[in-house]
Amino acid sequence: MIVFAVISVAEIGHATIGSLIKERYQHNCLEISPSAWLVATSSTAKELSDTFGLYETNGPAFVVITASGYWGKAPTNIWEWMRVKMEAPNG
């Protein structure tokens, strides 16, 4: 699968974006902060973004970024989640 970082741009949108991600990607998402989530899917960044249905509304701003590699300092569960999802086959 492909892992994406979805980032809510303004605090006012955090809850809305988070709810949409949890609803649509229930078993393939991980909240890493109040404004950022990891989502695993075989979709493209645009397709993932389109599932939120926010372009036709005055909804919250967000950014979707494809993760091609990763490094940093975070709790073990984040690294394990990313490893498992990035090694999972697409589909």
For the chain, which domains are there?
A: 2-87 (3.30.70)
Strand partners, 36: 7, 33
pLDDT digits 0-9 by tens, 33-50: 999 999 999 999 999 999
- Torsion on CA atoms 28, 31, 37, 42, rounded to nearest 10: -10
pTM score, two decimals?
0.90
Q: CB burial class (10 A; 0-12, 13-18, 19+) of residue 17?
A: buried
Per residue in 68-77, pLDDT (tens digit) is: 888 999 999 9
78 three-state secondary structure: helix
pLDDT of residue 85: 94
Strands (E), the chain: 2-8, 29-33, 36-41, 62-67
